[in-house]
Amino acid sequence: MRTLMLLTLSVGLLAGCGDSTNRDNGNVPEGGVCTSNSQCAIDFTCVGCAGEDSHCLAGCTTNADCSAGECKHQQCITCPCPGICQT
């Protein structure tokens, strides 16, 4: 049983299921309609304004969206307003 669990974990990691920053193959292109950050490539986030569709835009919502550095949130008067990845 332990061997099966290790094999399953190994296959999942090889398939890219274990790395939160491995989103280079996001299936939604920049500007495309999305429902979650995992659909967007790394350094992009799924954001939108109230009552409108969300889109994959350059920036971040959390540190996991950044390939390097941390997500710094901005003070904005416009919508959408994703954060910026800074090292």
Closest CA to 45 of 35, 57, 34, 31: 57
| pTM as predicted | 0.68
The domain segmentation of the chain, as residue ranges, is 20-86
Choice between 24 and 54, residue whose per-residue pLDDT is larger: 54
Cis peptide before 82 (omega within 30 of 0): no
Average pLDDT, integer, range 49-73? 95
Task: Write out the E strands in the chain.
Answer: 33-34, 44-47, 54-58, 70-72, 84-86
The per-residue pLDDT for 42 is 94
The per-residue pLDDT for 1 is 38
Render pLDDT for 7-52 as a digit per residue (tens, 0 to 9).
Answer: 333 333 333 333 444 566 679 999 999 999 999 999 999 999 999 9
Distance in angstroms (rounded) separating the CA atoms of residues 80 and 18 = 29
Closest CA to 33 of 14, 47, 50: 47
25 in helix, strand or coil?
A: coil
